[in-house]
Amino acid sequence: MKLGPDITRIAALLGDPARANILSALMGGQALTAGELAREAGVTPQTGSAHLARLEQGELITRRIQGRHNYFALASHDVAEALEQLALLAERTGHMRTRTGPRDPAMRRARVCYDHLAGDAGVAMLDALIAAGRIADEAGSLVLTPAGHAFARAFGVAVEARGRRPLCKACLDWSVRRSHLAGVFGVGLLERIYDLGWARRMEGTRLVAFSAPGLHAFERTFQPLRAATAG
């Protein structure tokens, strides 16, 4: 008998297109109803319920009952990270969806990766924080430095521990093929960007849309730090 984790069960759950679409819809970090997820999967409500039951049994999603509705969400940020890495592998090996649309460039610019900022904006933000000495890359692990703690306080981001989740964690971005910032600090930064009104989630999507003043403020806060250290 083979020893170690059995990845075939997870692979079987992810290998169905309808279930993959359900999980992709939940990558936005929001809980959705069974009906909404069935529509995302392109299946009937009855078939959608069967898929949701299998994902729940496999501990990839969780269910919350509110009134007459069942709401579903990804079971953890670990599931979201695994899905992001699979998307990276699919992109790298050329397994792309045949239909593209106007949202594709926007998804690459700025999107939610479960609960933190991804895409070009997310990668640029991490680059700037490292260049400014606010995050240090220590043998592949990201560490929030004293300068980073000071920046967090000044920017209005709480960095208290949340369970076992690290303060800073590199999440390899599928569209840029470089890391953006996950972990408690990454979550807090995106929440603060929303609070400041710099950007908002586009309803029903993973897209993060910056206003013109918000993008200017974002670039002033982060991107110049990267440019200042170039050359």
pLDDT at 199 over 50: yes
Residue-level pLDDT at 99: 52
pLDDT digits (tens, 9 = 90+) for 24-74: 999 988 899 999 999 999 999 999 999 999 999 999 999 999 888 889 999
Residue 4 has pLDDT above 50, yes or no: yes
pTM score of the predicted model: 0.79
Specify the pLDDT at position 224.
52
Q: Which of 24, 55, 75 is the last residue of a domain?
A: 75
Q: pLDDT at residue 229 above 60?
A: no
Same domain, residue pair 89 and 193 = yes
Q: Work out the percent of the chain whose per-residue pLDDT is above 70.
A: 92
pLDDT digits (tens, 9 = 90+) for 156-181: 999 887 777 889 999 989 889 899 99
The H or E element that residue 65 is part of is strand 61-66
Asked whether residue 231 carries a pLDDT value surpassing 60, the answer given is no
Number of domains observed in the structure of the chain: 2
User: What distance in Å separates the CA atoms of residue 152 and residue 207, rounded to the nearest whole number?
Assistant: 25
- Do 142 and 194 fall within a single domain? yes
227 — pLDDT class (breaks 50, 70, 90)? very low
Section 122-143 average pLDDT: 93
Report the distance separating Cα 200 and Cα 191, nearest Å: 10
Domain contains 2: no
Q: Are 180 and 123 in contact (CB under 8 A)?
A: yes
Q: Domain span at residue 114?
A: 80-228
Helix (H) or strand (E) holding 105: helix 103-109
The CATH number linked to 64 is: 1.10.10.10
Are residues 98 and 47 located together in one domain of the fold? no
- Could you tell me if residue 169 is inside a domain? yes
The confidence score (pLDDT) of residue 226 equals: 42
- If phi > 0 it is left, if psi is from -120 to 50 it is alpha, else beta; for residue 178 that is beta
Helix (H) or strand (E) holding 202, with range, is none
pLDDT score recorded for residue 140: 79
